[in-house]
Structure 1
Amino acid sequence: MARVLLVEDEVLISMSTGMLLKDEGYLVEVASDGARGLEMALASPPDLIITDYMMPRMNGLDMIVELRARGSRMPIVLATSVPETQLPPSYSGGHDAHITKPYYVAQILEIIARLLG
C-alpha cells in the first residue's frame, strides 16, 4: 500500500482528497502546512507527496526546495490554483507534476498512478 503525504491547509480539501485517496487504497497522512509536511517527510519518507503552494508557516514551494536540497527524491505533485507559468521566478523547481485547483478526481488519480508506476 503506497503512502501519500497530503500537505494542505484547507480543511475541506484535505478531508475530501484524503478520503478519495483512502478509498483508492492509499495510506494517507495529512499535514496542514509546509513546515509540518517537511518534518513528516523527513522523519518517515512517503511514497508520494501532494502539496499546496500557499500555506502558513512554510509554503509548498519552500518545502519542495528544502526536501530536494536534503536529497529527497520521492515524487511531488504541486496542487494549486496558481498556474505553473506564474510560479515565482526564484523557485528552482523540484515538483514532478502540477495540477490546477480545483481538480477532478480522475486527474489526480491519473497523476498519482503515473508517478508511482
Structure 2
Amino acid sequence: MKRVLVVDDEPQLLRALQINLRAEGYTVTVASNGTEALHLAASRPPDVLVLDLGLPDIDGTEVIRGIRGWSDMPIVVLSARHGSTDKVEALDAGADDYVTKPFGLDELLARLRAVERRSVHAAPGGIIDAGDLHIDLGASTVTRSGERIHLTPREWAVLQALVAHRGRLVTQRELLHSVWGPAYGEEAQYLRVYMAQLRRKLEPDPASPRHLITEAGRGYRFEAAEPTAAPSTAAEEPKADGPSTTPT
C-alpha cells in the first residue's frame, strides 16, 4: 500500500483528500504547515508527497528544497498559483509535477500514478561512461569523478530518456511524452528547467555542455564521447520571470 503525505493549510481540502486517497488504497498522513511536513517526511518517509505552496509558516518551495537535500521522494505540488514563474520555481526547487487548484480527483490520482511509476521504473540495463560521468541504467545511479550525484526521480527520467537514445536527437515532444506522459507536448519550459538542473549537476561547465546538448528548436541529445571543442550551443537557464514556451 502506497504511503502519501498530504500538506495543505485548508482543513476542508485536507480532509477531503485524506478520505478520497484512503478510498483509493493509500495510507495517508496529513500536515497543515511546513515545519510539520519536514518533520513527518523525515520521521515517516512517504512514497509520495503532495504539497501546497502557500503554507502559513514556510513557503512550499522551501519545503521542497529542504527535502531535496536528503531525499528523492516524488513531490507533487498543489497550488492556487497559476503563474509560469511559480511553476518554474517549484520545479527548479525539485518538484516532480505541478497541479493547479481547483483540480479534479481523477487528475490528481493520474499525476500520483505517473510519479510513482517514474520513481520505481526499472531502467534498461547498461553502463555508460561519458568523460568523468558513470551512468548505471540498471541501478539508476550516476557518479561524477567517483562521487555519487543525487538526482530527483524526474531528473533521472529525463537523463534516462536521453541516454537510452544517446547520439541521436530526442525531440521536445518525445521527451515530454516519455517523462510526463501523453497529455504533455507543448510545455517546453519543463524541459528547460530540468535540463538546466541536470547540467548544473553533471557538466563541468553548464554554460558549455559536453554531454547534454541542445539542438535549437528541435530537442536534446546526449553525447557520451568528449567533444574535440566545446559545442557552440550554450545551455539555456530558466529566466526569473518565467520561460517562454517557444522552443530554444
- Common topology (TM > 0.5): yes
1:81-96 pair list within 5 angstroms = 81-83=80-82, 85-87=84-86, 92-96=92-96
1:79 match: 78
Give the TM-score, by structure 2 length. 0.45
Paired AA for residue 24 in structure 1? E
Matched, 1:16 2:16: yes
TM-aligned CA deviation for residue 93 of structure 1: 2.2
Unaligned runs of 5+ residues in structure 1 are none
Paired AA for residue 10 in structure 2? E
Change (3 A) 1:102 1:89: closer
2:98 match: 98
Larger radius of gyration: 2
Give the TM-score, by structure 1 length. 0.92
TM-aligned CA deviation for residue 18 of structure 1: 1.0
Q: Distance in 2 between matches of 1:90 and 1:99?
A: 14
What secondary structure is seen at the aligned counterpart in 1 of 2:15? helix
Aligned length: 116
Paired AA for residue 9 in structure 2? D
Q: Is the 8 A contact 1:84 1:98 kept in 2?
A: no
Q: Distance in 2 between matches of 1:28 and 1:89?
A: 27
1:38-117 pair list within 5 angstroms = 38-69=38-69, 71-83=70-82, 85-87=84-86, 92-117=92-117
Q: Distance in 2 between matches of 1:88 and 1:27?
A: 27
Unaligned runs of 5+ residues in structure 2 are 118-248
Q: Which of the pair has the greater relative contact order for Cα pairs under 8 Å at 6+ separation?
A: 1
TM-aligned CA deviation for residue 32 of structure 1: 0.5
What secondary structure is seen at the aligned counterpart in 2 of 1:9? coil
More displaced stretch, 90-99 vs 39-48: 90-99
Moved over 6 A (4+): none
TM-aligned CA deviation for residue 89 of structure 1: 7.4
